[in-house]
Structure 1
Amino acid sequence: MARTFSIHALIILLILLQLSSYFNTCSATTKSHLSHHRNKEYIKNSCSATTYPKLCYKSLAHHASKIQGNPKLLAHAALNATFFAAKATSRLLRDMSTFHGLRRNEAAAMIDCVEDVSDAVQKLQKSTKEMDRTEGSDHLRVQMNDIQMWVNTALEEEETCMNALANKAIKHRVKNGVRRRIIKVAHLTSNALALVKSFALAEKNSP
């Protein structure tokens, strides 16, 4: 009789342990989903203050778990996304500038764009690296001013390239293939600049 009772007690104990494990797993999963949702909402709200909020959210949403509602990590992620997009576009421009089917004025415009976007890539890379060094820095205000200046210069370089490609003498096959990419990079840069400014302002006003 006692042995039967022990077996029943053991079975009940095992069931309770399994239920406890199940509910703990469910609780952890629910918390993870809620946290991920909050992180995405933070990005969405932050992006609403940029000029191109939909592009901003689309480019940063998949970094939500890394950003975790941190304005510095948000600005850093935006700079990174912009840098890699600009780098890829710069590579495309270099390839297209050597295309033998281009007319002289088209080739000249492409070469100018290559220089402009290459300069923009360098400025964005400097900005990203400098953002890495802002943690606990005594010169944060100077660093943030430098970052904003570099990102703003990158945006100006991209706009110069767009203006060159807007020339009516350039065929649509060139403009349509490249200008859309430049515009996207410029929009990403504009968004990154807005998020960098937001972070700088938050740091300035922090006690």
Structure 2
Amino acid sequence: MTHTTSSSMVKLSQVHGMTPREVAAMKDCIELLNESVYNLKQSLEEMSRPGSKDSELVMSDIQTWVSSALTDEDTCTEGFKDDPKMKRVVRGKIVNVAHLTSNALALVNSYASLRG
């Protein structure tokens, strides 16, 4: 879903009539979403490795990666603070991803606390 959202943001960035500042903010947002995709993939790969969830260090890394993905998604809209309309459009594109990432972080944190 994060990858699809990132693709959607690329298409949105190609809309004519965007100011240079909006284009720059959109590029930053796309970069942040790509970083989110990377962090979430890293987490999934680590979680699927046999025995990886038994290590406190690995769980800490996973928590950090998922938390970072959530932060990247939130930071994405900050570049549009001077354009409330565009900020709403961008936020609308990433809200589902942010909710799912937040839920994933809650699950990872819950799992880590059960072990600790």
TM-score w.r.t. the length of structure 1 is 0.51
Equivalent pair of 1:162/1:182 in contact (CA under 8 Å): no
Equivalent residue number for residue 164 of structure 1? 79
Give secondary structure in 2 for the equivalent of 1:129. Answer: helix
CA offsets per residue over residues 45-76 of structure 1, 9 Å max, x none? xxxxxxxxxxxxxxxxxxxxxxxxxxxxxxxx
Pair 1:108–1:138, CA change in 2 (3 A): closer
Q: Give the structure with higher Rg (CA).
A: 1
Equivalent residue number for residue 15 of structure 1? none
Asked if 1:104 corresponds to 2:16, the answer is: no
| Distance in 1, Cα, partners of 2:2 & 2:52 | 28
Pair 1:177–1:188, CA change in 2 (3 A): same
| Distance in 1, Cα, partners of 2:52 & 2:91 | 39
| Distance in 2, Cα, partners of 1:88 & 1:186 | 13
* Number of residue pairs the alignment of both structures matches: 116
Query: Shift of the alpha carbon at 1:162?
Result: 2.0
Equivalent residue number for residue 189 of structure 1? 101
Asked if 1:86 corresponds to 2:5, the answer is: no
Query: Shift of the alpha carbon at 1:180?
Result: 1.4
Q: Which amino acid aligns with 2:104?
A: A
Give secondary structure in 2 for the equivalent of 1:186. Answer: helix
Query: Shift of the alpha carbon at 1:95?
Result: 1.6
Query: Shift of the alpha carbon at 1:178?
Result: 2.3
| Distance in 1, Cα, partners of 2:11 & 2:4 | 11
Asked if 1:178 corresponds to 2:94, the answer is: no
Pair 1:102–1:92, CA change in 2 (3 A): same
RMSD of aligned residue pairs (Cα, Å): 1.9
| Structure 1: gaps spanning 5 or more residues | 1-84
Give secondary structure in 2 for the equivalent of 1:121. Answer: helix
Equivalent residue number for residue 61 of structure 2? 146
Point out which structure has higher relative CO (alpha carbons under 8 A, 6+ apart). Answer: 2
1:1-207 residue pairs with structure 2 within 5 A?
85-133=1-49, 135-137=50-52, 140-165=55-80, 167-168=81-82, 170=83, 172=85, 174-204=86-116
| Distance in 2, Cα, partners of 1:102 & 1:138 | 45
| Structure 2: gaps spanning 5 or more residues | none
Give secondary structure in 1 for the equivalent of 2:26. Answer: helix
